Structure 1
Amino acid sequence: MVSAYSAMLKTAFLHNAIEPFFTGGAASVCEDQSTLVTSYGEDVVISDLRTGKRIQKISGDTEQITTLAISPDSQYLVVCSRSLQMRIYSLPDCKLVRAIKAHDGPVIVMHIDSTSSLVATGSADGVVKVWDLAGGFNTHTFRGHKGVVSAIRIYGQQGGTRWQVASGSDDMQVRIWDLVKRKCAAVLDDGHVSVVRGLDFSADGSLLISGGRDKVVNVWDLTKNKLVKTILTFEQLETVGFLAPGVIGNKNEQLIFTGGDRGIVRLWSALSGEEETPELQKIETTEEVGVSEILYYPSWTNLIAVLSDQTLLEHSLSSNDLPISRRLSGNNGEIIDLAFVGPVDESGISGYLALATNSPEVRIVSVDTQSLTILTGHSDIVICIDASFDGIWLASAGKDNVARIWKWTADSDDGGFQLYATFKGHLGSIGGVALSKLVEHNGFPRFMITGSQDMTVKRWAVPKLSLVSFDEPAEVTKPVYTKKAHDKDINAVDISPNDELFATASQDRTVKVWDSEEGEVVGILRGHKRGVWSVKFSTYDKFIVTGSGDKTVKVWSIRDFTCVKTFEGHTNSVLKALFISHGAQVVSAGGDGLVKVWDVKSGECNTTLDNHEDKVWSLARRNDDNVIVSGGGDSVITFWNDITEQELERKAEQEEELVEKEQDLANFVYRKEWKNAIILALSLDHPARLLNLFRTVMSEHQEPGSITGLRQVDGVLSSLVPEQLARLLGRIRDWNTNARTSVVAQRILNVILVSYPPEKLLEVADIKRTLDALIPYTERHFGRMTELLEESYMVDFVLRQMDEVLTMKIEEL
């Protein structure tokens, strides 16, 4: 099976990942929309908003983050947590500039002004404070609220004389604070009957809007400090704001955006109080989702809604229906299953991933941009998915006992998958689903197989609806056949490449192979000691791979249904396994959070891939066989890119370069070019060659005034850069442990100590540990030399005594 492909084994992988960056709470974006900052539990994650890729993670102070903000100019990040600390970081280096105790209670809300010079904070202690962002000192402190400050907004313009802060509280008051006069300019207390959650100034600062959980937006005239309009929104609001004049519609029309528990962004006229947004943008979801925050700057042509389900929606401001241009998921949750889907490009690669994420929704994620589309229809958690080879068809099934088939349709609303058919009939949750590998001449899958907790397996015929369009999904309730398959739950199903067979893996520790046409068992695979979680056919040969709760991976022959290989190495249940490299290798993923690549022929583990912190539930192979993707309980999706060929080329280049350097070193030694020889030996890190070089110099040369024997060598040793010096000191440390090489080590060490001042030696990496290792052996050598010297005195004494005795004897004769 593997001899023809032995040269294609994959042994080196480079990974990149789609990582979670948001767990709910505060989020902020800089004005140029380059950087997104979100709270991730106790930590802060900085991401590239354009690509969704994580840039950096800032560790928190062990307390939950309450609010954060990035300055409009992207120079500072301010983070507040329940520790009462306000931490200010400089960007992009994420260096902590200062940490301050901001309030006597947690900071609940915060806003940085448009000039990136001041930051206003509102706390649970009812106090409003203003801080100099660059200096980190408190400029204003305002007291007056009788409850938690729940909304805050700062207004001011560069060079302007009018600077104000508006704050709202759960005491249902809105207060205007004058920063120039340092006092409360107005108390607006007759507009709300519940907590105030959103505030915003108009562009010229003449109007203020306030929105709250009493389902109203109030428009205030700040020239008179009076309420001029109350807009009934019929939803509890969490955020409000002004759109820049003329972004949508008439330039003279002032529009307000709102977000709340209805989960949509809505537009209102500040003058008439009429809603300007048609009811077209409600996001289909099985969960109750609200808008917790809307991120917007007047220079933008879009706005970003932060939803309570940890996703972000980009709405285009091209029209008043606010079309969704992009959706980002801050946290996909536990990745139970995944598959490459969507139409393939010229190289046969699909650009999307379908995810089953421990929810009733199937998520479609773009590999390049991480934009998200959600497929709704299931009423309970989706457990398993499968895709056709061309990526056009997607099957999903789960705990609602229903399987669904989706088809990629270019003219659908989201340019993606649309529900094609629903299959009902199982009495338990469906643990495995598989689409036929072959398609009929008109592009339809030939059939679908499902396996369930009701211990039955069903074959379904896929209805032939119009490929051009279909208005209503088909509903199939009668399978082609139903078979009692196992004694316990069915965990996985797979179909052979030619559609003649399919296999079912069960919690009863067996795998059964079936004739797909007749639905009859043709073989039973016995040998696992725990339930079997995964089963996959090889695309290129008659073999099956299985993964089990007994921590093993097994490869089986379909010809005689015997186990031909068993791979042991996982320390927890093997949850997924599949073939790669034309069947020459197996990839497995387990509850230990590891992905392992096995050589089928030798049974050895080629490599272990580690980028997950929780169980790895899912694996998929890209069509070109160059990328493996894994998904786990840590919400991380990792792409393992095969770089074996590049790694082999790199090693070949290194070996060729090493041979050339070895020849150069031999030439330098032959020509006695000691300077070049020593530097090259250091760069090659050849300790034996280097030692022989120094021994040769010390034995063959004795120039006056030279410690090593040659002034040229002394000069080389006294002019090393810190990296070379660190490597040489490491060799000296090793040589110094042996009495036979200690003389060389001590003489070179002598040159170094004479040539370099202490401040230069301190620049050497790990110098303390090196010196700690040198000192005891040096003291031992010194003691040994002292003893030898003392013994030499005794020898001299004995020789002198012998001379005297000999002289006396001669005289007597």
Structure 2
Amino acid sequence: MSAEAGRPKLKSCLDCQKSIESVYTGGRVAVDRDERRLFAACGEDIAVLDLATGDKLAELKGDTEIVTAFAVKPDGAHLVSASRSLQVSVWSLQSFAVERSFKAHDAPIIAIDIDATSTLVATGSADNTVKVWDIDRGYCTHNFKGHGGLVTAVRFHPQRDRLSLVTASDDGMVRVWDLKQRKCTAVLESHVSIVRSIDFTHDDGGKYMVTAGRDSVINVWDWGRKALVRTIPVYESVEAAGLLQDRAAASFGPQHTRVVFSGGERGAIRLWDMDTGEELFAQAKELNAKHTFVDVIYLPHSQQLVAATSDQNLLFYDAVDRLARTRQIVGFNEEIIDLAYVGNAHTHIAVATNTEQLRVYDTHNLSCELGYGHKDTILALAAHSSGAILATGSKDNTVRVWAIDMDAPPTRRIVCIAVAVGHTKAVGAVALAHGTDVLLMATGSEDRTVKMWDLSPLRAAFEDPAGAALAAEGSGPTKLQTLYTFQAHDRDINSVCIAPDNRIFATASQDKTAKIWDVATGKQLACLQGHRRGVWSAAFSPADRVIATASGDRTIKLWSLSDHACLKTLEGHTNSVLRVEFLSGGTQLASTGSDGLVKLWTIKDTECVLTLDSHENKVWALAKRPDEAFIATGGADSTIRIWKDTTQQEIERLHGEEARTLEQQQALDNFLLVKDYRNAITLALSLDQPHRLLTMLQDAMAAPGRSGDGEAGSGSEEDARAILGSTAIDEVIGTLSPEHLERLLGYVRSWNTNGRFARVAQAALHCVLTQYTSQAILALPSAKALIAAIHPYSERHFGRLDDLLTKSFIVDYTLHAMDALGIDDSA
């Protein structure tokens, strides 16, 4: 009993629990009035996100052209979007379907705004015109011309009774339009470049207006006089600017009643006193961060600022707490290169993409933290079993070691505590020793060398990651030293892994080989030859002296570490096998490939027990949680799938179904015993048991009350006249549900192919045709095909089946069927 309990349970079912997909690919973003949903452009679509969790709620599918602008009605009922196809679409935010679509301009729309009443929408276009539309009725109310360039910003005045619209263009001109008089009432000339933002003060009915643009200034205007009050030089190209409300402004002192925020090329939000032009606060940019801000929106209820970055991230800042970052959503991951589970309870996934940022996702709410340090793309990840230490290899030729503490304040969740410098080319493989007795790190590079690094100076970090992170903030990362370096292969090294006992390690290379090395000395112990293409991945078994290798030749090979012979070869992928990992105590393997497949193998019989086809491109990354409850995969389709092991639940479900089936079988026997035909036939159809139903009908038709030639026997007179031997059976057949009726006709088609069962088949068809209308039969999805297959006579003699199922056809056909069956038609 104890041996059975200790045996690892084989996996056979993995269900995708969560997906991390692209939700933002650049441009403006929007939030509805109650701040529950965030809308972000994602290529030709618009993603609808839950603002609290970051989960994708829906996707507004576009018209295959890139979305250029959109806005949400203040009442939250609709979203209006425009794309490069020149179409404007009005979306219902209840059904997420297009309610109306029309062509608005002769060139793409660049800016959209909706008035406070949710009635009018203004569109500014590259054709130099501005149009105003009645959203619900779908017609143009105003067509304004006068701008000498692309219209880059539009904004309704917040006061409903003023009916004023402000627009700006790339020539720096700001125009004010009166919707009642249908004309331009003012031209404001001060900007000398593209104007990107227009906003109004909140507490005084829009007495002042703020405009900002790429000429590196913020202008403050007196709305009543249409005069320039102040120019604030910001010394950066501004993409977004607006005004904070009283509570956020007061956090910088009671004397600051009007505070303007701005964001642009510096990639940091800055705050300004509108009345004095004084800079109140400027964010410190993240180390090595290269992004700029393309949009910043203000959420007045939650007092947050949401900044959209040029590298497709959404950063959330507390407007009251000196712009402290509260969370971030990664909008676009590009190609997923590697994954690793990290965190105290392994609830987070570290991700390497085609960027220099280290990304760490919370698997519960999909929020993400970014770690800055590398200067080029991260290529490889290796997590320590504790989940608190992570190593990354990069195209900048360095390796960094990070302390991961996701419960710490945002600035100390991902801290670089050590740097390894020495490789002359990109580092594409990294591995950490297991446990804390041996503190080593092995790295492999495009320079074809392997380096073994001494991590003993980081012992305190393995014991107290939070303390090490705090120390690194003050003194900087530790410089690691190598124990030895040697050239390992003739071509690029793709993978490095260390055995569970920390005595040997393996490397896999594009030179078609994998090699085994001694950890202590770096001496080569074996060269595993047999693959016909480069070897992409290698993994040691946690239980046996076995190593697995995955290759571009579409195979996985298992090798003995005792005599280095190839033990087994697993074939099934249709393209290169890119990653391999042992599961279930070494009794199973998981693999991913260039064919977009994830496969689960049982080693004992070398069979693939599960294939997951959820990715649309190469699956580069594969990571398992230490308890193997979850497996994560990621690939070139920019998607991360998190798979949950549901084998036990599936076994329990199958056992439950089996038990229910046995109970229903017993119930069916009981119904037949007491001749409860209604329940017996319904249950036989539900259980999909055509043979039991056939036997039941044969027995009824062969009962003593009926003779073989259809004449009445010793039974009741009513049963003698019944088509299927019993009036009860005829009544049941006449009251079947559409699903059961279609299933019965399918049985009849099968029975009719066998001469022994043809009589029952024709009688059952006769019973159906005499009790159902032609409309009821034709409503069945496969009715025509079923009836035509049951008896060729119908199509050959009567033509099209949809014209056949009429009263006259049914009478003629049933008389023909009765004649064939030897039934007296006088009855």
- Shared fold by TM > 0.5? yes
Flag the 1:472–1:729 CA change in 2: closer, same or farther, 3 A: farther
Q: In the alignment, is residue 430 of structure 1 matched against residue 427 of structure 2?
A: yes
Deviation at 1:694, TM superposition (A): 3.2
Which blocks of at least 5 consecutive residues in structure 2 are unaligned?
Answer: 462-466, 707-717, 800-811, 821-827
Does the 8 A contact of 1:169 with 1:195 survive in 2?
A: yes
Aligned to 1:31: 33
Of residues 349, 352, 375, the one that matches 1:356 is 352
Flag the 1:678–1:528 CA change in 2: closer, same or farther, 3 A: same
- Residue type at the aligned position of 2:454: A
Of residues 382, 402, 405, the one that matches 1:386 is 382
Flag the 1:254–1:723 CA change in 2: closer, same or farther, 3 A: farther
SS in 1 for 2:736: coil
Deviation at 1:640, TM superposition (A): 1.2
Aligned to 1:494: 497
Does the 8 A contact of 2:188 with 2:226 survive in 1?
A: no
Mapped to 2, the partners of 1:628 and 1:395 lie a distance apart of 20
Q: In the alignment, is residue 195 of structure 1 matched against residue 194 of structure 2?
A: yes
Deviation at 1:515, TM superposition (A): 1.3
Deviation at 1:34, TM superposition (A): 2.3
Does the 8 A contact of 1:618 with 1:632 survive in 2?
A: yes
SS in 2 for 1:616: coil
Aligned to 1:799: none
1:404-419 equivalences under 5 Å are 404-408=400-404, 414-419=411-416
Of residues 64, 88, 91, the one that matches 2:90 is 88
- Residue type at the aligned position of 2:631: I
> Mean alpha-carbon deviation: is it higher for 459-468 or for 584-593?
459-468
1:659-738 equivalences under 5 Å are 659-700=662-703, 703=719, 706-736=722-752
Aligned to 1:245: 246
Flag the 1:549–1:243 CA change in 2: closer, same or farther, 3 A: same
Deviation at 1:758, TM superposition (A): 5.3
Does the 8 A contact of 2:174 with 2:189 survive in 1?
A: no
Does the 8 A contact of 1:150 with 1:195 survive in 2?
A: yes
1:398-477 equivalences under 5 Å are 398-408=394-404, 414-440=411-437, 446-464=439-457, 467=461, 468=467, 469-470=471-472, 471-476=474-479
1:262-341 equivalences under 5 Å are 262-277=266-281, 279-287=282-290, 289-319=291-321, 321-341=322-342
- Residue type at the aligned position of 1:189: L
> Mean alpha-carbon deviation: is it higher for 68-77 or for 529-538?
68-77
SS in 2 for 1:414: helix
Deviation at 1:207, TM superposition (A): 2.1
Flag the 1:748–1:129 CA change in 2: closer, same or farther, 3 A: farther
Deviation at 1:446, TM superposition (A): 1.0
Q: In the alignment, is residue 573 of structure 1 matched against residue 576 of structure 2?
A: yes
Flag the 1:563–1:679 CA change in 2: closer, same or farther, 3 A: same
Q: In the alignment, is residue 519 of structure 1 matched against residue 516 of structure 2?
A: no
> Mean alpha-carbon deviation: is it higher for 646-655 or for 101-110?
101-110
Mapped to 1, the partners of 2:32 and 2:791 lie a distance apart of 55
Mapped to 1, the partners of 2:77 and 2:684 lie a distance apart of 46
Does the 8 A contact of 2:440 with 2:456 survive in 1?
A: no
How far does the alpha carbon of each residue in 1:106-162 deviate from its partner, in whole angstroms, 9 at most, with x for none? 2211123344333222122222223333333333333332322111112356xx433
- Residue type at the aligned position of 1:227: L
Q: In the alignment, is residue 162 of structure 1 matched against residue 162 of structure 2?
A: yes
> Mean alpha-carbon deviation: is it higher for 427-436 or for 528-537?
427-436
Q: In the alignment, is residue 631 of structure 1 matched against residue 631 of structure 2?
A: no
Aligned to 1:52: 54
Does the 8 A contact of 2:455 with 2:480 survive in 1?
A: no
Of residues 135, 139, 142, the one that matches 2:141 is 139
Q: In the alignment, is residue 506 of structure 1 matched against residue 509 of structure 2?
A: yes
How far does the alpha carbon of each residue in 1:255-310 deviate from its partner, in whole angstroms, 9 at most, with x for none? 22222111122222221122222x334233443x2211122343331121111111
SS in 2 for 1:328: strand
How far does the alpha carbon of each residue in 1:440-466 deviate from its partner, in whole angstroms, 9 at most, with x for none? 4xxxx6111112222221111115255
Mapped to 2, the partners of 1:81 and 1:411 lie a distance apart of 42
Does the 8 A contact of 1:412 with 1:418 survive in 2?
A: no
Mapped to 1, the partners of 2:304 and 2:127 lie a distance apart of 35
Deviation at 1:475, TM superposition (A): 4.8
Deviation at 1:322, TM superposition (A): 0.9
How far does the alpha carbon of each residue in 1:24-52 deviate from its partner, in whole angstroms, 9 at most, with x for none? 23432222232222222222322222222
Aligned to 2:533: 530
Mapped to 2, the partners of 1:623 and 1:789 lie a distance apart of 71
- Residue type at the aligned position of 2:611: T
- Residue type at the aligned position of 1:518: T
Aligned to 1:658: 661
**Total equivalences in the alignment:** 775
How far does the alpha carbon of each residue in 1:615-651 deviate from its partner, in whole angstroms, 9 at most, with x for none? 1111111011111111101111111111011100000
Mapped to 2, the partners of 1:522 and 1:143 lie a distance apart of 79
Mapped to 2, the partners of 1:251 and 1:760 lie a distance apart of 78
Does the 8 A contact of 2:247 with 2:320 survive in 1?
A: no
- Residue type at the aligned position of 1:437: H
Aligned to 1:40: 42
Flag the 1:595–1:230 CA change in 2: closer, same or farther, 3 A: same
Mapped to 1, the partners of 2:379 and 2:141 lie a distance apart of 55
Does the 8 A contact of 2:288 with 2:374 survive in 1?
A: no
Deviation at 1:738, TM superposition (A): 5.1
1:608-647 equivalences under 5 Å are 608-647=611-650
Deviation at 1:735, TM superposition (A): 4.0
Aligned to 1:77: 79
Mapped to 1, the partners of 2:766 and 2:305 lie a distance apart of 68
Deviation at 1:251, TM superposition (A): 8.9
Flag the 1:135–1:523 CA change in 2: closer, same or farther, 3 A: same
Does the 8 A contact of 1:354 with 1:364 survive in 2?
A: yes
Which blocks of at least 5 consecutive residues in structure 1 are unaligned?
Answer: 345-349, 794-813
Mapped to 2, the partners of 1:131 and 1:761 lie a distance apart of 50
Flag the 1:749–1:84 CA change in 2: closer, same or farther, 3 A: farther
Does the 8 A contact of 1:196 with 1:211 survive in 2?
A: yes
SS in 2 for 1:246: helix
Flag the 1:219–1:368 CA change in 2: closer, same or farther, 3 A: same
SS in 1 for 2:161: coil
Mapped to 2, the partners of 1:65 and 1:381 lie a distance apart of 29
Deviation at 1:324, TM superposition (A): 0.9
SS in 2 for 1:672: coil
Identity %: 42
Mapped to 2, the partners of 1:503 and 1:704 lie a distance apart of 82
How far does the alpha carbon of each residue in 1:708-733 deviate from its partner, in whole angstroms, 9 at most, with x for none? 45443333333333333333343344
1:788-803 equivalences under 5 Å are none
Mapped to 2, the partners of 1:242 and 1:789 lie a distance apart of 86
Mapped to 1, the partners of 2:691 and 2:746 lie a distance apart of 13
How far does the alpha carbon of each residue in 1:301-328 deviate from its partner, in whole angstroms, 9 at most, with x for none? 1121111111001111123x31110111
Mapped to 2, the partners of 1:687 and 1:129 lie a distance apart of 67
- Residue type at the aligned position of 1:439: T
1:699-778 equivalences under 5 Å are 699-700=702-703, 703=719, 706-736=722-752, 740-757=756-773, 760-761=776-777, 764-767=780-783, 770=786, 776=792, 778=794
- Residue type at the aligned position of 2:331: G
Aligned to 1:803: none
SS in 1 for 2:246: coil
Aligned to 1:554: 557
Deviation at 1:534, TM superposition (A): 0.6
Does the 8 A contact of 2:624 with 2:632 survive in 1?
A: yes
Mapped to 2, the partners of 1:566 and 1:454 lie a distance apart of 30
Aligned to 1:257: 261
Aligned to 1:211: 212
Does the 8 A contact of 1:108 with 1:124 survive in 2?
A: yes
- Residue type at the aligned position of 1:176: V
Mapped to 2, the partners of 1:56 and 1:775 lie a distance apart of 49
Give TM-score scaled by structure 2 length. Answer: 0.88
Deviation at 1:187, TM superposition (A): 2.5
